């Protein structure tokens, strides 16, 4: 699919230079069409009956399969969730952390991960990475690991600085590694088997262009049996029993609207049609964005990271974002940091980036 075909499928791009997939991706036409079709069906036919439920369960299975394929996860290792927040809470609670346990994390994390860690009861060792260059991150994280460390929890790509964190280098120490993949999956190539992590979260409404409140949690298969299911739903159990269902689906917190499942499948199909070349294109455009911004502002994101480009404008970041929005350029600010962030995707055009640069 060439750029014009990609962009034709994402109508918001006609309206503005949309550079905020790190919050919500642009929606494909086919996604909304699939959701509308499902809603029309539910309205006319009702949401009931054996065939209805079997079809929705089959739809869940298909979504698990495609999401799993996208991140290199083996069968049975994907639990559908509504968000990375859900997924982080599930993973943190699965480990039965207590006050004698320590968690190593960073000062770059989203409340969706940090919130769950804070209420876990464990002691947090928050490694300061915000002020360090990426090549010093691994040593700083390693220095925080102690014999009491029961979890290493960090982003694949930091939502704040846009930096890729050293996940692969942290695994294999006998300590579970939970990866917040909200800014990873769909943005850069992800292979959980190769990464070797124990948990990986996906926010499908961002870089995978899915409907609101869609995503999943990967759980390393060898781990599943020993983990606690803290928020079970009827999907957690073998039907008619209170015996846990096999594999990661036991962690699924509940029903997902069938329209959202259909819409997500359409979005994932769009991503797959765009091909694996989309990752290289998005990376190249992110570097191009850096280049354009470097001439006009102070960059926060170093070269060679992922698809977020964060910078520290001299003016108030929220005011800048508002001024750009009025000019048809959509980015976001990062409250408390004074930073602004552009999200660059495989759908981004030179013109989008030039409009951003011109607005600074």
Q: Identify which of residues 15 and 148 has a Cβ nearer to its own copies in the complex.
A: 15
Alpha carbon of residue 22 to chain centroid:
8
CB of 171 or CB of 341, closer to its own copies: 341
N-terminal to C-terminal alpha carbon distance within the chain: 32
> Considering the complex, what minimum distance in angstroms separates the CB of residue 205 from its own copies?
8
Complex with its own copies: residue 170 or 310, whichever CB lies closer: 310
Q: How far is the CB of 30 from its own copies (least distance, A)?
A: 10
Between residues 85 and 307, which has the closer beta carbon with respect to its own copies?
85
Nearest-approach distance from CB 88 to its own copies, in angstroms: 9
Q: Which is nearer to its own copies, 23 or 349 (CB)?
A: 23
Q: Do the beta carbons of residue 166 and residue 138 sit within 8 Å?
A: yes
Angle at 203 between CA 137 and CA 349, to 5 degrees: 85
Buried b (16+ CB within 10 A) or exposed e, 112-143: bbbebbeebebbbbebebeebebeebeeebee
Bridge partners of 177, per DSSP, are: 152
d(CA 145, CA 142): 5
Q: Which is nearer to its own copies, 239 or 295 (CB)?
A: 239
Q: Where are the alpha helices (DSSP H) in 203-341?
A: 258-274, 277-294, 317-326
Query: Which is nearer to its own copies, 119 or 280 (by Cβ)?
Result: 119
Nearer to its own copies among residue 126 and residue 140 (C-beta): 126
CA neighbor of 209 nearest in space, from 25, 80, 34, 348: 25
The three-point CA angle 321-323-327 to 5° equals 110
Q: CB of 191: closest distance to its own copies in angstroms?
A: 27
d(CA 81, CA 147): 32
Measured from the CB atom, the residue of 171 and 317 that comes closer to its own copies is 317
Q: Please, what is the minimum distance in Å from the beta carbon of residue 116 to its own copies?
A: 6
CB of 126 to its own copies, least distance (A): 12
CB neighbours of 220 closer than 8 A, spacing ≥ 6?
77, 192, 197, 198, 199
For residue 312, the minimal CB distance to its own copies (Å) is 18
Spatial distance between the Cα atoms of 89 and 207, rounded to a whole number of angstroms: 21
DSSP one-letter code for 163: P
- In whole angstroms, how close is the CB of 263 to its own copies at the nearest point? 9
CA distance 184 to 203: 9
Q: How far is the CB of 242 from its own copies (least distance, A)?
A: 6
Measured between alpha carbons, how far is residue 34 from residues 17, 80, 91, 263, 282 in Å?
Answer: 25, 19, 31, 5, 26
């Amino acid at each position: 699919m060439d750029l014009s075909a990609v962009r034709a499928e994402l109508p918001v791009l006609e309206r503005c230079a949309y550079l905020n997939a790190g919050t919500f991706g642009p929606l494909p036409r086919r996604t909304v069409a699939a959701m509308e079709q499902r809603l029309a069906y539910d309205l006319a036919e009702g949401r009931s009956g054996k065939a209805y439920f079997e079809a929705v369960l089959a739809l869940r299975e298909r979504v698990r399969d495609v999401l799993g394929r996208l991140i290199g996860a083996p069968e049975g290792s994907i639990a559908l969730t509504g968000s990375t927040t859900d997924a982080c809470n599930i993973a943190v609670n699965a480990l039965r952390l207590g006050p004698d346990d320590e968690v190593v994390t960073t000062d770059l994390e989203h409340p969706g991960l940090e919130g769950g860690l804070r209420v876990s009861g464990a002691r947090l060792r928050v490694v300061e990475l915000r002020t360090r260059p990426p090549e010093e991150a691994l040593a700083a994280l390693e220095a925080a690991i102690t014999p009491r460390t029961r979890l290493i929890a960090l982003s694949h790509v930091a939502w704040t600085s846009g930096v890729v964190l050293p996940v692969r280098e942290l695994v294999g120490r006998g300590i579970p590694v939970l990866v917040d993949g909200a800014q990873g999956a769909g943005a850069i190539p992800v292979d959980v088997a190769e990464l070797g992590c124990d948990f990986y979260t996906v926010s499908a409404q961002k870089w995978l262009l899915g409907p609101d409140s869609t995503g999943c949690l990967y759980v390393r298969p060898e781990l599943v049996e020993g983990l606690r299911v803290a928020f079970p739903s009827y999907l957690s159990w073998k039907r008619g029993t209170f015996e846990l269902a096999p594999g990661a689906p036991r962690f699924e917190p509940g029903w997902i609207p069938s329209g959202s499942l259909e819409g997500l499948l359409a979005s994932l199909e769009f991503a797959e049609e765009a091909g694996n070349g989309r990752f290289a294109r998005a990376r190249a455009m992110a570097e191009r964005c850096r280049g354009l911004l470097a001439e006009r502002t102070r960059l926060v994101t170093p070269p060679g990271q992922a698809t977020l480009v964060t910078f520290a404008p001299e003016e108030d970041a929220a005011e800048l974002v508002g001024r750009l929005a009025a000019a048809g350029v959509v980015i976001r600010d990062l409250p408390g940091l004074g930073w602004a962030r552009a999200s660059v995707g495989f759908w981004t055009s030179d013109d989008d980036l030039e409009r951003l640069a011109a607005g600074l």
